[in-house]
């Protein structure tokens, strides 16, 4: 197995260029800095904890917001911890949910320990096996372009695993205040009145 070479910042830049009005959930760790540095806005929900919950949170959001796409951007370790969520997504088959796994084959926030993905674990195959028909693994620039196109044309749900180099990301930190992040997101999506006084 060759080492991944894609630069995560370059990948995020290309993908966020086609984001449109999609809502974004960032799994804890580097994907939070990745989204904050590439496209910081209120329609991003940054998970500073709750490892393994990014996909289920994206599913809940996608089911509530059928008219908008929801992108979950997370890492390989985070995705593996909640890997059963792929089956839960497959059973619901939300036509507006995309999961993008930035797979650097390591636990980047804790000292770059090797993850199972370093030893051959294939998250796209796991998603496919869970029943999600549209999966892809991206290893080069052409693949990133194809993913950007697929994010716009579908079909969703989709799980895309992007193999990225195990480099240190640029640390662009959003707020760590969960209540603020929640209310900011809801206000952007629902409007101020509905966000604060849900019927």
Partner 1 sequence: MADAWTVEAHRLLKKHGIKTVGYVPDAGLTDLINACDADNDIKAVVMTTEEEGIGLSSGAWLGGEKAAVLMQSSGVGNTVNAIASIVSSCQFPLFMIVTMRGQYGESNPWQIPMGQATAPVLRSLGVRVYEVDTVEDALGAIENGLKMAFVSNAAVAVLIGQKLIGAKSFIADVAEEVSHV
Q: What is the binding site for partner 1 (CB under 8 A)?
A: 23, 25, 45, 47-65, 70, 82, 84-85, 87-88, 91-92, 178-179, 181-182, 185-186, 189-190, 194-195, 198-199
- Minimum CB separation of residue 59 from partner 1 in Å reads 6
With contact defined as beta carbons under 8 Å apart, do 124 and 85 qualify?
no
Strand pairing partners for 114? 106
Q: Which residue lies nearer to partner 1 by CB, 73 or 148?
A: 73
- Minimum CB separation of residue 164 from partner 1 in Å reads 24
Q: What tokens were used for 80?
A: 């593996």
Q: Which residue lies nearer to partner 1 by CB, 54 or 127?
A: 54
Nearest to 96 by CA among 12, 163, 20: 20
- Minimum CB separation of residue 167 from partner 1 in Å reads 27
How many Å separate Cα 144 from the centre of its chain? 15
Q: Which residue lies nearer to partner 1 by CB, 56 or 134?
A: 56
Residue whose tokens read 């919950």: 53
- Minimum CB separation of residue 110 from partner 1 in Å reads 16
Residue whose tokens read 């051959």: 120
- Minimum CB separation of residue 65 from partner 1 in Å reads 4
Sign of CA dihedral 14, 33, 82, 77: positive
Q: What tokens were used for 148?
A: 């950007």
Q: Which residue lies nearer to partner 1 by CB, 33 or 46?
A: 46
Q: Quote the radius of gyration of the chain (alpha carbons, Å).
A: 16
Q: Which residue lies nearer to partner 1 by CB, 51 or 172?
A: 51
With contact defined as beta carbons under 8 Å apart, do 49 and 181 qualify?
no
């Amino acid at each position: 197995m060759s080492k991944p070479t894609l630069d995560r910042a370059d990948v995020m830049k290309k993908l966020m260029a086609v984001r449109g009005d999609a809502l974004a959930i960032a799994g804890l760790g580097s994907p939070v800095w990745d989204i904050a540095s590439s496209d910081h806005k209120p329609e991003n929900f940054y998970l500073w904890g709750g490892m393994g919950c990014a996909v289920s949170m994206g599913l809940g959001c996608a089911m509530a917001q059928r008219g908008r796409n929801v992108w979950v951007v997370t890492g390989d370790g985070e995705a593996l911890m909640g890997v059963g969520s792929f089956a839960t997504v497959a059973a619901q088959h939300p036509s507006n949910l995309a999961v993008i796994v930035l797979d650097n084959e390591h636990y980047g926030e804790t000292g770059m320990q090797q993850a199972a993905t370093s030893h051959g674990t294939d998250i796209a195959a796991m998603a496919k096996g869970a029943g999600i028909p549209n999966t892809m693994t991206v290893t080069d620039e052409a693949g990133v372009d194809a993913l950007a196109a697929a994010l716009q044309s579908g079909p969703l749900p989709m799980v895309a695993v992007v193999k990225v180099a195990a480099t240190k990301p640029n640390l662009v930190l959003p707020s760590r205040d969960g209540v603020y992040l929640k209310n900011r997101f809801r206000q952007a999506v629902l409007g101020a009145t509905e966000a604060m006084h849900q019927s």
